[in-house]
Amino acid sequence: MPPLDDAHTGTRIREQRRLARLSQRELADRIPYSYSLLNQVECGARPASADFVAAVAHTLRVDVTVLTGQPYVTELHQDHLAGLVRPIREALDLYDLGPDPDMTVRPGAQLVAAADQLCAQVRATRLHAAAAALPDTIAELTTAAWRAPSTVLWQALASTYRTAHDVAVKLGYDDLSSVALDRMDWAAQRASDPCLAAVRQYMRALVYCREGEYSIGRRLIGSGHGILGQAGQTREALAVTGQLHLGASVIAARADDGAAVDAHLGEATALACRVGDASDVHWLSFGPTNVAMHRMSAAVEMRHHDEALKQAQRIRPPASMATSRRAHFLIDRARSEMELGRTEASLKSLVAARRAAPEQTRYHPGTRETIRGLVHLSRRTPETLGNMASWIGM
- Look at residue 236 in the predicted model and tell me its pLDDT: 95
Please report which confidence band the pLDDT of residue 307 belongs to, taking 50, 70 and 90 as the band edges. very high
Q: Please indicate whether residue 394 or residue 189 has the higher confidence score (pLDDT).
A: 189
Q: Report pLDDT digits (tens) over 125-184.
A: 999 999 999 999 999 999 999 999 999 999 999 999 999 999 999 999 999 999 999 999
What's the pLDDT at 4?
A: 53
pLDDT classification of 394: cutoffs 50, 70, 90: confident
Instruction: Check whether 8 has a pLDDT greater than 90.
Output: no
Q: What is the pLDDT confidence band of residue 2, given thresholds at 50, 70 and 90? A: very low
d(CA 138, CA 95): 9
Of the ranges 64-73, 75-84, 299-308, the best mean pLDDT one: 299-308
Range name among 139-153, 167-181, 279-293, 371-385 with the lowest pLDDT average = 371-385
Report whether pLDDT(1) > 50: no
- Best CA proximity match to 245, nearest among 231, 257, 262: 262
Instruction: Check residue 231 and report its DSSP letter.
Output: T
What per-residue confidence (pLDDT) applies to 5?
Answer: 55
Q: What is the pLDDT of residue 381?
A: 73
For residues 366-384, average pLDDT: 87
Mean pLDDT calculated for residue range 273-278: 94
Question: What is the mean pLDDT of the segment spanning 23-35?
Answer: 93
* CA–CA dist 259, 242 (Å, integer): 17
Q: How many helices (H) and strands (E) does the chain have?
A: 22, 0
User: For position 50, what pLDDT does the model report?
Assistant: 87
Q: In the predicted model, is pLDDT for residue 3 greater than 60?
A: no
Q: What is the mean pLDDT of residues 385-390?
A: 90
Dihedral Cα 350, 352, 357, 359, nearest 10 deg = 40
Domains of the chain (ranges; CATH) run 1-69 (1.10.260.40), 327-394 (no CATH)
The overall average pLDDT reported for the chain is: 93
The Cα 394–Cα 392 span in angstroms is: 6
